Amino acid sequence: MDLKLNLQSDSCLDLAFGKVISGKEAQVFQTYFPAVAPALQEFGLKPLRPFAVLDTNIRRPIPEQGNLTYVPSVENFVQFHQDARFQKAKPIRDEGMEFLADGNLFESIKEQITLDSNSDYALILSSNQIAKSTSLFELNLSENSPNQRFRGQSLSLCPWSEDTEKLLHAVPNETIVLKVRFFPESS
């Protein structure tokens, strides 16, 4: 099934990934997300494409899922996180997560990308020009990104291949690779 990933210029793409504690899925997905949905909408943050992490070179803690989210501006992202609705729901989310890496805002471009829900992809965070010839996009970390863990790195999305498979052996502090499969629309 074809999936669309619509990127917009003059905005940011938030890369978030983490791991929900086993048995707390309902707490995160059925309690937290509905509680913050009105604030997400008000500040213009739109989840674009959730994904499962199938493999990674991150050793601990190992992420299991993530999301790419449209963020109209860094200011909107900050305002959302300061909003009382988020502040009230944040403990629900945090108590249900083993870990969460978010606030990784990358400068977006105007592009519509067609993905296949039956295919695997690589999300690559690196300061090197890795797999540039096959990348569907390459985005730089925003200078104002709340999380600066990936400072000096770019985010690339590539179809999974033998070359991206080799990246699973890369040192995580130089290159992070997430082998992902995007969820179909009905998920």
Can you give the CATH number for the domain in which 19 is found? 3.30.70.100
The residues that bridge with 16 in the sheet, in sequence order, are 67
Kindly state the tokens that stand for 56: 């990674």
On whether residue 146 sits in a domain, the answer given is yes
On whether residue 156 sits in a domain, the answer given is yes
Domain that holds residue 35: 2-182
Q: What is the pLDDT of residue 166?
A: 86
What gap in Å lies between CA 126 and CA 122, rounded to an integer?
12
Kindly state the tokens that stand for 168: 């699973």
User: CA of 28: how far to CAs of 10, 20, 31, 33, 154, in Å?
Assistant: 30, 8, 6, 7, 29
pTM (2 d.p.): 0.90
Tell how strand 65-71 and strand 46-56 pair up. Answer: antiparallel
Q: How many domains does the chain have?
A: 1
Mean pLDDT by 10 residues, the chain (187 residues): 89 96 95 96 95 92 94 96 97 96 94 93 85 82 89 92 86 84 76
On whether residue 147 sits in a domain, the answer given is yes
Q: What is the pLDDT of residue 150?
A: 85
On whether residue 187 sits in a domain, the answer given is no
What gap in Å lies between CA 101 and CA 122, rounded to an integer?
17
Three-state SS at 110: coil
Q: What is the pLDDT of residue 186?
A: 55
On whether residue 23 sits in a domain, the answer given is yes
